[in-house]
Amino acid sequence: MTADSVAAVAPAAATPAIDIRAVRRIFRVRDAGRVWDADRAVVAVDDVSLTVPAGGVLGVVGESGCGKSTLARMILGLLAPTAGEIRVAGRHLATLDRRARAALIQPVFQDPYASLNPRRRVGDIVALPLVAHGQITRRDIAARVAEMLTRVGLAPELARRLPGELSGGQRQRVAIARALVLKPSIVVCDEPTSALDVSVQAQILNLLAELRRELNLTYLFISHNLAVVEHVASEVAVMYLGRIVERADTETLFRAPRHPYTKALLASVLTPEPGLGVPDVGLGDTLPDPTAIPAGCRFHPRCPVALEKCRSIAPPVVDGVECHLA
């Protein structure tokens, strides 16, 4: 809103769309059935710093529980970080009110069956951000909604329908239209195609790529599907138990992964090549537990190449890779 929060920041061209410094988020959870014990702390995101340049697509990958959705929710301003700071388009997220935030950054969630109000008509769903923002006439709203629906490849007549009358792909298009109706510059896509069929997934990925080019959007693209991330992202961050363990541009990461966890993730992608069989990922059976983060390198219990020092000493980050061996 005011310019004072922007004052300390470099000129607009160099300002990253998303700038995160030393962000940490801790949740307190109570152990089931253990009332006498103190709460346990789950460090969902642990000292994460990253930047996404304007117009870039940062893919964030990792297994369930690695903190990728918590990171997304903090960037959206839906969750306050326990420590650290987040800037969006050069402005401190904490200083922005809801409207200012909504005009800058918008989400597209995984499940379009859950993210659209089943009792609202499509037109009202897409119009809601405009209505909440005020300062716009009803006729302008209707025109803007029709324009947005066309833009995402839906017939404007669908505005009168209920979400229940639409297919999964159409619903996700509605969610995208709603996200873009306020003309934000950043969109956080949290598993936007995971609930969809491959044929529909391809349509939605093509649409997102087209919209990014035309509207010069920046995406934070969260997915567990590495093939999808490779297709859409310009840079990739690999998360493991709350930390970014490797960060590289997409081509480098996929061609020459350096962290053993990244290698395992890439090895587990089942490309449609018959005869190769199912790869042995080599991660063992120990699954990561965010409530009991191991000492030293937090990946060491599953790491196929762990050394003695990995058990006790946390690895340094060198060239975007957090590993003793990289």
Spatial separation of the C-alpha atoms in residues 224 and 63, rounded to whole Å: 7
Interaction pattern, residues 155-184, with other proteins; x per rule: CB under 8 A: ------------xxx---------------
Spatial separation of the C-alpha atoms in residues 321 and 243, rounded to whole Å: 11
Residues 6+ apart with CB under 8 A from 165: none
Q: Is the distance from CB of 262 to CB of 238 less than 8 angstroms? A: yes
Among 39-47, 94-102, 123-131, 270-278, the segment contacting other proteins (CB under 8 A): 270-278
Least distance (Å) between residue 180 CB and other proteins: 19
Q: Which of 109, 221, 254, 299 forms a contact with other proteins (CB under 8 A)?
A: 254
Q: Which of 191, 230, 246, 322 forms a contact with other proteins (CB under 8 A)?
A: 230
DSSP letter (8 states) at residue 106:
E
Spatial separation of the C-alpha atoms in residues 320 and 301, rounded to whole Å: 21
Among 47-55, 122-130, 154-162, 231-239, the segment contacting other proteins (CB under 8 A): 231-239
What is each CA distance from 185 to 115, 219, 316, in whole angstroms? 21, 9, 34
Residues 282-321 that bind other proteins (CB under 8 A): 283, 285, 287
Q: Which of 276, 292, 308, 319 forms a contact with other proteins (CB under 8 A)?
A: 276
Spatial separation of the C-alpha atoms in residues 305 and 326, rounded to whole Å: 11
When the beta carbons of 118 and 274 are compared against other proteins, the nearer one is 274
DSSP letter (8 states) at residue 91:
E
**Phi and psi angles of residue 194, each rounded to the nearest 5 degrees, phi first:** -65, -25
Least distance (Å) between residue 8 CB and other proteins: 34
Residues lying near other proteins in the complex (CB under 8 A): 63-64, 167-169, 197-203, 205-206, 209-210, 213, 224-228, 230-234, 250, 254, 264-265, 267-281, 283, 285, 287
